[in-house]
Chain A
Amino acid sequence: MSESTILPIVAVLPLLSALVMGSLHISGSLRGERFYALVGTIVPVLSAIVSIFPIYSVLSSGRALDSHLYEWVSIGDFTIDISLRLDPLSAVMLFIVTFVGSVIHIYAVGYMRGDDGFGRFFSYFNLFLGSMLLLILASNPILMFVGWELVGLSSYLLIGYYYDSEGSIEAANKAFVLNRVGDFGLMSGIALLFVSTQTDRFSFVDIAGGLGSVDSATLALIGGLLFVGAIGKSAQIPLFVWLPDAMAGPTPVSALIHAATMVTAGVYMVARFSFLYEEIPYIGEIIAYTGGVSALLAALFASYQTDIKKILAYSTMSQLGYMFIGAGVGAYSTALFHLLTHAFFKALLFMGAGAVIILFHHRQNIFEMGGVARRRADIAIPMLVGGLAISGIPPFAGFFSKDAILVHTFASGHYLLWGIAMVGAFLTAYYIFRLYFVVFTASGDDTGEESLAEIPSTMIWTLYILAIGTVVVGFAGVPEAFGGDFVIGDLLSLPDRVVAISHTLEWTLTLMGLCVSVCGIALAYLIFVRKSIKERNGEAIYAQPLYEALYIDRLYRTVFVDGLRRVSGWCAKVVDDTLIDGAIMAVVRGYGRAGDVMAGLQNGSVGRYAIYMLTAISLASLYILNRTGN
């Protein structure tokens, strides 16, 4: 473990620039876009460049870099530091966040052009970047939690960026509140961890060392609670209802936060605590099944959405489910690998969707679009690459990572889970190509003649950067069965569970996966290009519930939001008015009445006064008579 002075720069720089841009924007002294565009993009790019060397150094040597900034809390023997740590896991995350983040920042310059709050946007965006970096570079759970919360805050700010729209504000609130629910679990887990391990410095390294003294039941509880936090952050069942609504924010936000980075924080956390989850495999089962159910349900929901961004949102939820499947069965490196590939192709898909949205003058219903491939092939090609990647078609990245998860699941004996994942893969290919065919190939009725809007060129070549990345990144995880090295597994050095599987079986499984994906694409082709199977979207009984995501959101709203409102109203009326005000007024009136009684004693009648005096005197006399012994 060696010291690094570069790490703090990487993390602090975006936060600092966010502060600067924010202040300038608020003070109104700088209105032009150019300054914010420059600062807003140079900073992430700088962070990316600066972190190349540390990443390379850590990954090649396998040794971690530390950077101790200062002591935050110090009570007796116990200390919590502000210190950053770059080990292979956080190095991979760092690469993803800075690289993909930079690309999306550049894309955002084009997308947000002409918007009034340009400076505000980049201030928030950089804030997010800094927070995410803090989260992944933290060396102890407390600091990680700080980053976690800050990321949630940035998400709230960015979802609610169009603050005049009530829908945006509601979505931002919903995201924050649901995150909070998850955070409760996370906090409880960290607290429980703290209490049961009793280490001095409470860093990840220390905790890993101190786990031996904790009994299995407590560990299970901790693992479960931590996972609750991941459920909230990564939009799994049942805390997922915020993610589709979060699409109300600008598309770059959806691309960066709700696809590539923030939502993956949950997976990162599970990987971070892999040493803990290895001790409690049955919690891993729960994680895996949660991921599986989420993956399947989300894929179903996505197949019936009409809003282009909502399709991609459910797609993200689904892919996150796959990552949790991987993490749950003990294939942490595989999950991280899928995280890496997903970051690339999902960001790519979102960015392309953003371009398409602008093309059609900010409309988002895919059935109001069509024939883009004919007119803007430069957008269609990267989108096709993204679609193929997520469907798991070689040689694109998604093939290797998704395949690895499926194989590992089957090989570790989780056949039901494998089946669910296969169905999900089929649906994934279906819905993504449904999107592609409807928007790009099918000509529709009159959309072919509509005039399309202009798109800045920065939005286009950034697509290509990610598209190239999508192709390249996949080769980091080529499994042995195909002659590769599974490099990423070596690099990450996570405590993966080893499963033995014959090459033949692996080839068979891979082939099956491929078939399933191709079938999905074919079905989409038949329905939407050939129109040979009529799309009976609005007519099937299961279509509407799936469109509404099984009314889960409606359920939450009725039970929690409306219920709480009614309780509050009741409280305001009954408790506040009747009980509290009533009690206070009763006391006040009681005092008043007591005062009146007292006043009545002084009614001015002298005879009365004489009686008062007499009473006192007689009592005194009685007392004296008693004392002098009769």
Chain B
Amino acid sequence: MVENIVTLLLALFLGIGSLGVVFSRRPASSVVSFFAVTISIAGLFAILNQTFLFVSQIMIGVGAVVVVTAVAVATVNLDNRGLPSESRFSIPMVVTAVTAIPLSILLYRSLVSTMGDSFPQVDGSFGSIEAVAERLFGHWALPFEILSILLLAAMAGAVAIARKEKK
């Protein structure tokens, strides 16, 4: 019972936030909406018993992504003149909205075909940090290490791009 209500609320939040991201005129509004989306996602992770992911999502999703995005928006500091002139419901958007539907349907059907009709019962250790660690440093050790290299490369890349050219 509780799960249902919570899920519904979180879903609502999520939906409004996602619409806000895509349909806002100013980037700042999009960032705030995205913040809402990220929080909702974290909540949904929690309701699905993934406690560690819930924390990670908040730490990284909000603490890193949203913050950095907000900083970037602030750095660029556009006023209304600098915004691109675009209407809310332009033709490309309508076309996209229509053509993306079949893909979405396909995606939904294929995903749903792998699952059952309801969630099975799990014990308390499901989704706990121990369970995550056990799999992460066991089966998924290699991808984990590669991810660290990826992060290193990303760091170096970001620095290289953002630096000003000095003669």
Query: Are A and B in direct contact (Cβ within 8 Å)?
Result: yes
| Known contacts A624-B106, A625-B105, A608 near B92 by CB under 8 Å | yes
Interface members, chain A 607-628 (any B CB < 8 Å)? 607-608, 610-611, 614-615, 617-619, 621-622, 624-625, 628
Closest to B104 in A: A621
Is B85's beta carbon under 8 Å from chain A? Answer: no
Is B102 a contact of A615 with CB atoms below 8 Å? no
Is A621 a contact of B105 with CB atoms below 8 Å? yes
Q: Which of B71-79, B93-101, B141-149, B151-159 is the contact stretch?
A: B93-101
In Å, the complex CA distance between A621 and B107 comes to 9
Is A617 a contact of B103 with CB atoms below 8 Å? yes
In Å, the complex CA distance between A611 and B94 comes to 11
In Å, the complex CA distance between A607 and B100 comes to 14
Chain B residue contacts of A619, Cβ below 8 A: 102
In Å, the complex CA distance between A36 and B103 comes to 98
Identify which of B99, B102, B106 contacts A611 (C-beta below 8 A).
B99
Is B109's beta carbon under 8 Å from chain A? Answer: yes
Identify which of B92, B102, B109 contacts A618 (C-beta below 8 A).
B102
Is A618 a contact of B103 with CB atoms below 8 Å? yes
In Å, the complex CA distance between A608 and B105 comes to 23
Identify which of A618, A624, A628 contacts B100 (C-beta below 8 A).
A618
Chain A residue contacts of B99, Cβ below 8 A: 611, 614-615, 618
Is B92 a contact of A625 with CB atoms below 8 Å? no
| Known contacts A614-B99, A614-B100, A615-B99, A621 near B106 by CB under 8 Å | yes
Is B96 a contact of A614 with CB atoms below 8 Å? yes
Chain B residue contacts of A608, Cβ below 8 A: 92
Provide the A372-384 mask, 1 if CB < 8 A to any CB of B, else 0: 0000000000000
Chain B residue contacts of A607, Cβ below 8 A: 92
- How near does chain A come to B151, taking the closest CB pair, in angstroms? 26
Is B106 a contact of A625 with CB atoms below 8 Å? yes
- How near does chain B come to A621, taking the closest CB pair, in angstroms? 4
Closest to B107 in A: A621
- How near does chain A come to B89, taking the closest CB pair, in angstroms? 15
Q: How many residues of A are counted as interface, with CB atoms below 8 angstroms from the partner's CB atoms?
A: 14
Chain B residue contacts of A624, Cβ below 8 A: 106
In Å, the complex CA distance between A47 and B149 comes to 110
In Å, the complex CA distance between A611 and B100 comes to 9
Closest to B95 in A: A611
- How near does chain A come to B23, taking the closest CB pair, in angstroms? 15
In Å, the complex CA distance between A625 and B107 comes to 10
Contacts A607-B92, A611-B99 given; 6 further ones with Cβ under 8 A? A611-B92, A614-B99, A615-B99, A621-B105, A625-B102, A628-B109
In Å, the complex CA distance between A439 and B95 comes to 103
Identify which of A610, A611, A615, A625 contacts B109 (C-beta below 8 A).
A625
In Å, the complex CA distance between A610 and B100 comes to 11
Chain B residue contacts of A614, Cβ below 8 A: 96, 99-100, 103
Provide the B79-122 mask, 1 if CB < 8 A to any CB of A, else 0: 00000000000001001100111110110010000000000000
Chain B residue contacts of A611, Cβ below 8 A: 92, 95-96, 99
30 contacts between A and B (CB under 8 A): A607-B92, A608-B92, A610-B96, A611-B92, A611-B95, A611-B96, A611-B99, A614-B96, A614-B99, A614-B100, A614-B103, A615-B99, A617-B103, A618-B99, A618-B100, A618-B101, A618-B102, A618-B103, A619-B102, A621-B102, A621-B103, A621-B105, A621-B106, A622-B102, A624-B106, A625-B102, A625-B105, A625-B106, A625-B109, A628-B109
- How near does chain A come to B86, taking the closest CB pair, in angstroms? 10
Closest to A630 in B: B109
- How near does chain B come to A64, taking the closest CB pair, in angstroms? 94
- How near does chain B come to A356, taking the closest CB pair, in angstroms? 98
In Å, the complex CA distance between A497 and B92 comes to 99
Chain B residue contacts of A617, Cβ below 8 A: 103
In Å, the complex CA distance between A16 and B23 comes to 100
Q: Which of B96, B101, B103, B109 has the most CB of A within 10 A?
A: B103
Chain B residue contacts of A615, Cβ below 8 A: 99
Closest to B106 in A: A621
In Å, the complex CA distance between A611 and B92 comes to 8
In Å, the complex CA distance between A625 and B102 comes to 8
In Å, the complex CA distance between A622 and B92 comes to 20
In Å, the complex CA distance between A622 and B98 comes to 12
* Nearest 9 A/B pairs, CB to CB: A621-B102, A621-B106, A618-B99, A618-B102, A621-B103, A622-B102, A614-B99, A615-B99, A618-B103
Interface members, chain A 537-560 (any B CB < 8 Å)? none
- How near does chain A come to B154, taking the closest CB pair, in angstroms? 21
Chain A residue contacts of B106, Cβ below 8 A: 621, 624-625
Closest to A615 in B: B99
Q: Which of A608, A614, A621, A628 has the most CB of B within 10 A?
A: A621
In Å, the complex CA distance between A611 and B109 comes to 23
In Å, the complex CA distance between A611 and B105 comes to 18
Interface members, chain B 122-167 (any A CB < 8 Å)? none
- How near does chain A come to B106, taking the closest CB pair, in angstroms? 4
Chain A residue contacts of B101, Cβ below 8 A: 618
In Å, the complex CA distance between A610 and B105 comes to 19
- How near does chain A come to B155, taking the closest CB pair, in angstroms? 25
Chain B residue contacts of A622, Cβ below 8 A: 102
- How near does chain B come to A378, taking the closest CB pair, in angstroms? 108
In Å, the complex CA distance between A615 and B105 comes to 14
In Å, the complex CA distance between A611 and B99 comes to 8
Chain A residue contacts of B103, Cβ below 8 A: 614, 617-618, 621
Closest to A607 in B: B92
In Å, the complex CA distance between A5 and B91 comes to 97
- How near does chain B come to A630, taking the closest CB pair, in angstroms? 8
Chain B residue contacts of A618, Cβ below 8 A: 99-103
Closest to A628 in B: B109
Chain A residue contacts of B102, Cβ below 8 A: 618-619, 621-622, 625
- How near does chain B come to A104, taking the closest CB pair, in angstroms? 94
Provide the A583-619 mask, 1 if CB < 8 A to any CB of B, else 0: 0000000000000000000000001101100110111
- How near does chain B come to A32, taking the closest CB pair, in angstroms? 93
- How near does chain B come to A111, taking the closest CB pair, in angstroms? 94
- How near does chain A come to B94, taking the closest CB pair, in angstroms? 11
Chain A residue contacts of B109, Cβ below 8 A: 625, 628
- How near does chain B come to A611, taking the closest CB pair, in angstroms? 6
- How near does chain A come to B123, taking the closest CB pair, in angstroms? 36
Interface members, chain A 345-388 (any B CB < 8 Å)? none
- How near does chain B come to A613, taking the closest CB pair, in angstroms? 10
- How near does chain B come to A618, taking the closest CB pair, in angstroms? 4
In Å, the complex CA distance between A621 and B101 comes to 9
In Å, the complex CA distance between A614 and B96 comes to 7
Chain B residue contacts of A621, Cβ below 8 A: 102-103, 105-106
In Å, the complex CA distance between A132 and B9 comes to 116
In Å, the complex CA distance between A371 and B16 comes to 130
Chain A residue contacts of B105, Cβ below 8 A: 621, 625
In Å, the complex CA distance between A614 and B94 comes to 13
- How near does chain A come to B68, taking the closest CB pair, in angstroms? 22
- How near does chain B come to A451, taking the closest CB pair, in angstroms? 104
Closest to A614 in B: B99
- How near does chain B come to A625, taking the closest CB pair, in angstroms? 6
